[in-house]
Amino acid sequence: MLSTIKHYCIILMTVFAVSTASAQLETSKWKALISVGINSPSQEGLVTPFEANTINFPTINLGLQRMFTPQLGAKLDFGYNRFANADDTPEFKTNYTRINLQFVYDGTRFFSFLPIDTGVVFHIGPGYSMIKPLGDYGDNKTSFLNGMAGLEFHYGLSRSVSAFIDASYIYGFGKDFDPITEGFGSFNGNLLTVTVGVAVSLSGCYTCN
């Protein structure tokens, strides 16, 4: 009798483990991501004598992610950033908006030493940046292609929600300002962002047709 009970317990535990693993996979097919944080523009992207603060707020990122396998996927994301002048430099404020289509790789399996509810996600891909100076330099708008790469650390709060921190670098393929006055209050450089946010699963099942 005791052996029969043990047998059923083992079966139930196995079914529960498989069901839990399946549920965790299914909730990761589609995800919505939102995060808020700070940005740091490269000073090389500004013309002299303009200088930006080293750390600026806000950065706001919105994304929609689709995983095609447990490790591989893609996401379309939108980012809004604002930065302003440093002390004792000409006054300006600039909006930096971007849209990127990125390749996503879940590398969690290579970080087995991390806590069980922790995930590590890499992302990289091309995009388009739009620069809009505010105030007196509003006519100096510009836009250019970019390349973006980043790393996310996720911590599962439930099966469908995780909190994460993201560090990303956006390389700008902007042209030099000619004449230089077109660069007043504008920007054609690179941007570092650090944000915290949440990822929410929208659907399940990687392999459903």
DSSP-assigned beta bridge partners for residue 199? 33, 162
Residue 5 pLDDT > 90: no
Q: For residue 204, what pLDDT is reported?
A: 64
State pLDDT tens for residues 138-179.
999 999 999 999 999 999 999 899 999 999 999 999 999 999
Q: For residue 208, what pLDDT is reported?
A: 43
Higher-pLDDT residue of 13, 40: 40
Give the pLDDT mean for 114-119: 90
Return the CATH number of 29-203, one of 2.40.160.20, 2.50.20.10, 2.160.10.10, 3.40.190.10: 2.40.160.20
Closest CA to 184 of 48, 41, 44: 48
Could you tell me the residue ranges of all domains in the chain? 29-203
Q: For residue 3, what pLDDT is reported?
A: 52
Q: For residue 85, what pLDDT is reported?
A: 98
Residue 184 pLDDT > 60: yes
In contact, 104 and 65? CB cutoff 8 Å: yes
State pLDDT tens for residues 69-110.
999 999 999 999 999 999 999 999 999 999 999 999 999 999
Q: For residue 203, what pLDDT is reported?
A: 79
Mean model confidence pLDDT for the chain: 88
Q: For residue 209, what pLDDT is reported?
A: 39
| Close Cβ partners of 19 (under 8 Å, ≥ 6 residues apart) | none
In contact, 199 and 154? CB cutoff 8 Å: yes
Query: pTM for the full model?
Result: 0.84
Q: For residue 73, what pLDDT is reported?
A: 97
Residue 205 pLDDT > 70: no
Higher-pLDDT residue of 22, 112: 112
